[in-house]
Structure 1
Amino acid sequence: MPVRAISFDLDDTLWDTAPVMQRAEETIHTWLVRHYPRVAQRYDVAALHALREQMASEDPARAWDFTHLRRRLFRRLAREAGYPEAEFSAQAWEVYFAARHRVTFFHDVLPVLEELAHRFPLVAVSNGNADISHLGLDHLFRFALSASDIGQPKPAPAIYTETCARLALPPAQVMHVGDHPEHDILGAARAGLRTVWLNRRRQRWPNDVAVMPDAEITDLHALPALLGTTAGG
């Protein structure tokens, strides 16, 4: 069957996530020093990160919901330091969310998305909380779905099934592109989508993931040509 739409993962597929999150946490701490010093005195950047990880481990059923976790963290910090909880958490979220979207796209992202958007409906499918409008990508994507929208993270099939339903296409006509062997390739394949592993770091396929991708590329520039050979089924 022909490929009629493409879904893309976001974090680590379109940009390198680790430096973005590091800068976001540094930005939050700088803001705390200026506006809520009692919190900054209790926690440096590393301690804030450790507290967030601790809170995730204490609530494993929601550890995948990064927005929920981050908002809980801000409310806790406010309570501990004796600041108004609602005011503090709302302001902290705005600062964090803005910083979280200061990304540097990989060099191939914008030209390839712009080319493909003329040929296919594009969809963003992510476990994270990046917002395509804040990223300036909303003109390229038909819509976006996150794990928090669905109530389950990848690799659960629900987000992929919902993607196909909103596109009104059978899974075999949707191709998913992502960097993560389990979350992206295994999850999408189990939902019946075609899969492309974007292996930027040229890693070996993990032995514990039994499903193989339909194709592997190391650069998005290879995707239009690949779709030229697969679009006809």
Structure 2
Amino acid sequence: MPATRPQALLFDLDDTLWPIAPVIAQAELDLHAWLSAHAPLVAARFSIAELRERRLALLARRPELVVDLAHLRRVGLEEAFALAGEDARHIDEAIRIFLATRNAVTPYDDVLPALERLRARWRLGTITNGNADLDKIGLAHHFEATLAAPKFGRAKPDPSIFLAGCAALGVAPEAAVYVGDDLKLDVIGAQRAGMRAVWLNRGGSRAHEELGIVPDAICATLDELEAWLHQLGAE
């Protein structure tokens, strides 16, 4: 029996539509510079690396915080402010400073042209565990539905967030394709929800072989994704 023709595409965001590591690195630099000026006791006591280590330790103690990474950062800052004896009233602005730079992303070169073509043929949506703001980034108009773990209450690879994304676009899971860079969060999560999953492997990794994970397709770019979709007879 032939596979259901795709009617919708849902995308991960960070490291799928744009590189995130340099963005987070710059956001943490900007945050620490702001702390130096406005919460100097925190900046003097904790380096960027130490704040990161404390945040990872916090996540290990409270794994439920993975569903909202901005809240995780806030709780980490609350602990750091308390330990440093700093005024907690600065925390709201500290988070705002971080998120402003965190949303200053630069899409991969293939993304904007591909999204214009893809949305002419398929219904598009996004599902993310992060806190990117597509309105601020300027990409919201490409997508009919956007789901983020902090608002939904569950994070990938939980199948429920994938099913909710399909429901938001009005398609059955077998008629939807999920595209993401993370084998465990994106590929396994989407497949467990009954979707086809494309691993967007921009760096040529062979991690799927080591992990024994079998994506429905492996693409290095969104141009390759389009070619695969056309091979399915989905044009």
TM bracket (short chain): over 0.9
1:174-217 C-alpha deviation (Å, 9 max, x unpaired): 11111111111111011011111111111114346454111111
CA distance in 2, matches of 1:165, 1:140: 18
Matches within 5 A, 1:120-139: 120-139=122-141
Cα offset, 1:14, TM superposition: 1.1
Cα offset, 1:231, TM superposition: 4.6
Of stretches 158-167 and 53-62 in structure 1, the one that deviates more from structure 2 is: 53-62
Letter in 2 for 1:130: A
Where in structure 1 are there 5+ consecutive unaligned residues?
none
Matches within 5 A, 1:69-84: 69-84=72-87
Where in structure 2 are there 5+ consecutive unaligned residues?
none
Aligned to 1:51: 54
Q: Which runs of 4+ in 1 moved over 4 A?
A: 207-211
Cα offset, 1:102, TM superposition: 1.5
Change (3 A) 1:207 1:229: closer
Tell me if 1:2 matches 2:1.
no
Letter in 1 for 2:39: Y
Aligned to 1:35: 38
Indicate the structure with greater helix content: 2
Letter in 2 for 1:29: H
CA distance in 2, matches of 1:72, 1:54: 12
| TM-score normalised by the chain length of structure 1 | 0.93
- Aligned 8 A contact 1:189 1:211 in 2: no
| TM-score normalised by the chain length of structure 2 | 0.92
Query: Across the two proteins, how many residue pairs are aligned to each other?
Result: 232
CA distance in 2, matches of 1:148, 1:91: 19
Cα offset, 1:108, TM superposition: 0.8
CA distance in 1, matches of 2:208, 2:234: 30
CA distance in 2, matches of 1:166, 1:177: 17
Of stretches 114-123 and 72-81 in structure 1, the one that deviates more from structure 2 is: 72-81
Tell me if 1:23 matches 2:33.
no
RMSD of aligned C-alpha atoms? Answer: 1.7
Cα offset, 1:52, TM superposition: 1.1
Q: What secondary structure does 2:197 align onto?
A: strand
CA distance in 1, matches of 2:151, 2:66: 15
Q: What secondary structure does 1:46 align onto?
A: helix
Letter in 2 for 1:175: V
Cα offset, 1:115, TM superposition: 1.3
Aligned to 2:96: 94
Letter in 2 for 1:116: L
- Aligned 8 A contact 1:7 1:125 in 2: yes
